[in-house]
Structure formats: C-alpha cells, structure tokens
Amino acid sequence: MHLGHIFHVAGRPTVQNAADALVSVPDGALVVGDDGRVAYCGGRDEIPDEFRGADEFDHRPGFLLPGFVDAHIHFPQTFAGDAYGGGQLLEWLTLCMYPAESRLADPVFAQRAAVEFCARRIAVGTTAAMVFGSAFPHAQDALFSETRRCGLRMVGGRGIQTAGEEESVAPLVTSEDEAIRLTEAEIDAWHAADTGDVDTALLHVAIVPRFSLSVTRETLRNLGELYDSVRGRGVYFHSHLNENNRPGTGEVDSTKQAYQVNSYLDTYDGKFLPGSQAGGKSMLGRRSILAHCVHCQDAELGRLAQTGSSIAHCPVSQQFLGSGTMPWKRTIASGVTVAAGTDYGGGDEWSIPKVLAAAFKVHISEPGADGVSMHPAEMLFTGTLAGARALDMENRFGNFDPGKEADFVVVDPAREPALESALAQGIRSDDPILARDQTLFALLMGMGEAAVAQVYVQGRRIDDR
C-alpha cells in the first residue's frame, strides 16, 4: 500500500477529453497486489477491508504518478547531448551524431553507454521507452541485457543504415543483406526474451531504419517483407518523419526528391517508387511510431490515424535543432495518438516532464488561432497513457486502473526546494477543480530529476539510482 497524492488519467480517453478523466486523490492509496498489478486506487479512508493489512509505504506529502513513457529516445547518443556542430538536422547528424554513434563499435564503451542510458531513465522516472538503437549488435546486446537487469520496459531496435555518402557515417552502414540478417537476429534473440510471451514481456524489438534518406528502395522493400512476416509476433516499427523542412536541402524535400514521391510518409507506406507507386509492403500500423511529424500534410496525418500509427512528439528536440513546432490542434484533430518523446540527444533533456513543459510553451506560442494552452491533464496524458497507447500496451500500464501493471513514480517535492515552495505557496483558485489543475500544472512544470524519489515497474522498486 503506497500513500500519497495520486494523479492519473483514468480509463481510455482521447487527449481532447483527458481533463474529464483526470483523477486527483489528495489523501490517496495505491494498493499493489503480489502479482504486481493495481488492486485498488482511491481514497485512504475508503480502502477495502481486504487490503488494510498490506505493508504500508507512506510517501506523503509526496505524489504518486504513473510511470513516464518516452516514445522516442536514442541509445547511441547517450553521451552526445548538447553536441554542437552548427547547422540543422542533416548537418548535425554528419558532424556530431554519426561520429558519436560510431564510438559504440568499442564493446567497452557500448557497455558503459548501456549502463548510463538505463541509469538516466531511472533517474527521471521513465519506466517505458521506444528506443532507437545502435548499429552494432554487441551494443544492442548490452542495452537489452542492462535493461533486463534493471527491470525496465523497452521497445528497441538496431539503427538500420544502408546508404550515406558522408565519410562520418561509413562505420554505421551495412550491406542490404546484412541489414536484414542483423535485424532478424535481433528479433529472434531479444523480442520477449525476458518472459517468452509478448503479452507479459518487458523487452520488445522494433524494426528501426534511421530515416528514409539512410536506406534505399531495396532496403525499404526488404524491411517491408520482414515486417509483414513478424507483425503477428508483436514486433514494432519505428523511424523519423517530417522533422526538418528547410526548403530544397532539408530532410523533407531531400526525401521527396530522392524517392520522387508525393509525401515522405509514402516511403514507409510501401509507396516508395517514383510517383508514389507501390513498391512493397506498408510498415504502418498500431505498433508503428513515427518521431517528430512537425511538417505533415493533412493526408499524411489522416493515413497515420487510419492505420493506427502514432506520433512521438519531441518539442525540446525540435527547438534544439530549429525544426519548427508540430501544430498541436491540427495534429490531434486528425485522430492520431500523440505521445511525448525526449529524442535525447537531439533533445537535451532526459525528463518527460521537461518535455511536457516545453510542449506547453511552444503550443501556447503558436501563431494566432493555432495557439493553445494545454490543459494539465492533456500534458499528463501525453507523457503517460498516450505513450502506453502508442506502444499498444494501454491494457497493461499507463494509469492506475485496477488490474493494470503497477508502473509508477514517487515524487517528493522536499527533494527540490523550488518545487516544494511552488506547490506549498503558489496561488490556488477557490474553485476546487481549477485548484486541482493548478497543482498538477505546477508539479509537471517544476518537477526536476531530484524530485523523483522512487520508481516502480510491475510493483517492484527499481533500485539502481
């Protein structure tokens, strides 16, 4: 039995009605069964008699929040945050990221990166993540092994590259045959390796081409065939989409020119031949997450929603690389699920609450009628339940509905004096609903790493802190 102020978004709402589903229990109790699932979530004075003898952990006056979900983060960039090389996305990759990622060719360095990556996740309360992985199999083995040792959730896959003229990218590029062989081997070795059952596993594998410019039509065709053969095993697909729209030479125009297609999304949808003619199988679907989606056409958003694919929204990264602002109103109006991603090291924050704070700032600053003040419940939803939905595991975690696996974070404001003061002394409305929302907003906007006191996955405390 864990005591504290509980916040979560209950049920299965959309982001538009997250405020109606927001639950706040100031004197709350979260009871976790021996099976690691939520047995009760509610008021401390209403605990059913059957649970009153449970071991008690009193976190008051702290908070209990669902574990944060990072829908897009880069493992091989663990030590490359705030890398400066001048320019936007494509220049930054060439000058900074390809050299940084190539360092994982050293198994000792790769193991160090895996340990640090998992430690940073735990420190900020990220219990589940979609991870863009390393090109090197030994580095991926280190990442999966360390993730399993720590007891964290992860969907991840090796970064696939079969094209690239830059000298710095050469160590990351493989042949067409090798790309498929290594991807198949990773699926066989690590998908649901911890339990043997995708419905109970903490470890899952994704097929992860870096982006369409890093592969060829042959690669896309082969990956489409591979993905079609493993969809039934619950394998995921993950990549980048419509991040940088610098006219003529940015990622979006370069992709459309290279493939001679009508839209960037077509390349992942099996329509990668000139004129967006079909050349293979689509990799979109309910276990597909595309990062960024800053500059999507309406038709692309509609197709993502139609296929059940999701977007990893990374506002910190988009600011860092000058990529622009994903239009919030237009994107969520399409019906596509939007979850929060740090994109570390394109982003320079590990913390999902910091990403949510950035999302609030950029979207209230969108021009004219596009500007929107995100409701605190929308923010919490985007960093928790939306992430579980994007990972197609909403039935397992993401909130405190009874029966779900108990992934949660204990937030202790006393560990962060500025946050403690804001919560204790900040202005609150006489309207209890608005006062509730003001408290959650202050918590999410002001919460730093120091305030994360404890982290739990499936009811088990993660102790590597």
pLDDT in tens, 92-110: 999 999 999 999 999 999 9
Domain with residue 115: its CATH number is 3.20.20.140
Owner of token pair 């696996």: 405
CA separation for the pair 250, 270 (Å, rounded): 22
Q: Do both 174 and 38 map to the same domain?
A: no
pLDDT in tens, 255-276: 999 999 999 999 999 999 999 9
pTM (whole model) above 0.95 = yes
Yes or no: say if 29 and 2 are a contact pair by the CB < 8 Å rule.
Answer: yes
Question: For position 464, what pLDDT does the model report?
Answer: 52
Burial class (CB in 10 A: 0-12, 13-18, 19+), 203: buried
Yes or no: say if 410 and 63 are a contact pair by the CB < 8 Å rule.
Answer: yes
DSSP H/E element including 361: helix 352-364
Instruction: Give the 3-state secondary structure of residue 40.
Output: strand
Residue spans of the chain under pLDDT 70: 86, 464-465
- CB within 8 A of 72, min separation 6: which ones? 130, 132, 238, 289, 291, 292, 312, 314, 341, 342, 343
pLDDT in tens, 136-180: 999 999 999 999 999 999 999 999 999 988 899 999 999 999 999
Residue 237 phi/psi, 5° resolution? -125, 140
Question: For position 465, what pLDDT does the model report?
Answer: 42
Among residues 365, 391, 411, the one where a domain terminates is: 365
Q: Do both 59 and 76 map to the same domain?
A: no
Number of domains in the chain: 2
Do you find a cis peptide bond into 67, omega within 30 degrees of 0? no
CA separation for the pair 402, 400 (Å, rounded): 6
Question: For position 228, what pLDDT does the model report?
Answer: 97
Domain with residue 452: its CATH number is 2.30.40.10
Q: Do both 424 and 355 map to the same domain?
A: no
The residues with which 290 forms a beta bridge, in sequence order, are 239, 311
Q: Do both 100 and 54 map to the same domain?
A: no
CA separation for the pair 17, 381 (Å, rounded): 10
Owner of token pair 């590029």: 173
Q: Do both 213 and 152 map to the same domain?
A: yes
Q: Do both 56 and 100 map to the same domain?
A: no
In-domain check, residue 178: yes
Yes or no: say if 339 and 387 are a contact pair by the CB < 8 Å rule.
Answer: yes
Residue 293 neighbours by CB distance under 10 Å: 26
Q: Where are the alpha helices (DSSP H) in 89-209?
A: 89-92, 98-102, 107-123, 137-150, 176-190
Amino acid at position 429, single letter = S
Q: What are 259's two structure tokens? A: 């493939």
Among residues 350, 365, 380, the one where a domain terminates is: 365
CA separation for the pair 186, 154 (Å, rounded): 14
